[in-house]
């Protein structure tokens, strides 16, 4: 777990490097973009889920998947809550949650983070 933070920064630097190589200055993105989700995305994610028949549980219950999660708290927020795809107008068109869990293997508990 101690290496998770630096590993994440390395991945972010690598992504920025690729973006700089293929998206020169002045480049305008017009298509869908994958980005990390945040708790501020809840209203749009809830509308998206409702459009596809999912029951809305409210912000408190939705955020509790992470805020009330002992593994997430143990990771001190160094875990992405998920990913969203946004269209050219920056509206969320797809979302994928990422919820850390403990997994028991051979009698020992391991975190997915």
Residue 85, domain extent: 29-111
On whether residue 11 sits in a domain, the answer given is no
On whether residue 17 sits in a domain, the answer given is no
13-63 pLDDT tens trace: 555 655 555 566 666 656 799 999 999 999 999 999 999 999 988 999 999
On whether residue 6 sits in a domain, the answer given is no
Query: For residues 69 and 72, what is the distance between their CA atoms, to the nearest angstrom?
Result: 5
On whether residue 13 sits in a domain, the answer given is no
On whether residue 62 sits in a domain, the answer given is yes
Contact 107/99 with Cβ under 8 angstroms? no
Spatial CB neighbours of 20, under 8 Å, sequence gap ≥ 6: none
Q: Which two tokens stand for residue 16?
A: 């920025």
Among 52-61, 74-83, 86-95, name the one with the lowest average pLDDT: 74-83
Measured over the CA atoms of residue 55, residue 59, residue 60 and residue 61, the dihedral's sign is positive
């Amino acid at each position: 777990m101690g290496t998770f933070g630096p590993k994440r920064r390395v991945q972010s630097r690598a992504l920025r490097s690729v973006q700089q190589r293929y998206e020169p200055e002045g480049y305008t993105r017009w298509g869908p973009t994958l980005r990390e989700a945040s708790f501020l995305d809840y209203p749009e994610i809830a509308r998206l889920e409702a459009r596809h028949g999912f029951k809305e549980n409210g912000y408190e219950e939705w955020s509790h998947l992470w805020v009330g999660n002992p593994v997430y708290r143990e990771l001190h927020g160094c875990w992405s809550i998920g990913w969203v795809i946004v269209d050219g107008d920056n509206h969320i068109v797809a979302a994928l949650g990422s919820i850390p869990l403990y997994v028991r293997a051979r009698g020992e508990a391991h975190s997915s983070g």
